[in-house]
């Protein structure tokens, strides 16, 4: 269980499969992965999130990065 960062994926994004690959590509610390037809987060990498916002920009705000320490 990540201690510092949670990443929420808007359910609407699951239908946009073209975006899945884009999100996997843009994240510098491999937080996203494709599991079947679904975009999922990789639990062990969540705390490595650099808060770069690339995923937010790429998804059009359909991804939320939550700082658990705030």
> Site map for another protein, 19-48, x if CB under 8 A?
----------x--------------x--xx
CA distances from 32 to 2, 41, 70 (A): 14, 5, 23
CB 32 within 8 A of CB 40: yes
CB 31 within 8 A of CB 49: yes
Judged by CB under 8 A, the residue of 21, 38, 64, 67 near another protein is 67
3 binds another protein (CB under 8 A): yes
Residues lying near another protein in the complex (CB under 8 A) are found at 3-4, 29, 44, 47-48, 50-51, 67, 69-70
């Amino acid at each position: 269980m990540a201690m510092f960062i949670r990443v929420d994926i808007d359910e609407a994004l699951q239908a946009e499969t073209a975006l899945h690959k884009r999100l996997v590509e843009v994240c510098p610390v491999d937080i996203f992965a494709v599991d079947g037809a679904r975009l999922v987060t990789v639990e062990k990498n969540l705390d490595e999130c650099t808060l770069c916002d690339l995923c937010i920009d790429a998804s059009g705000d359909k991804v939320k990065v939550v700082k658990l320490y705030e």
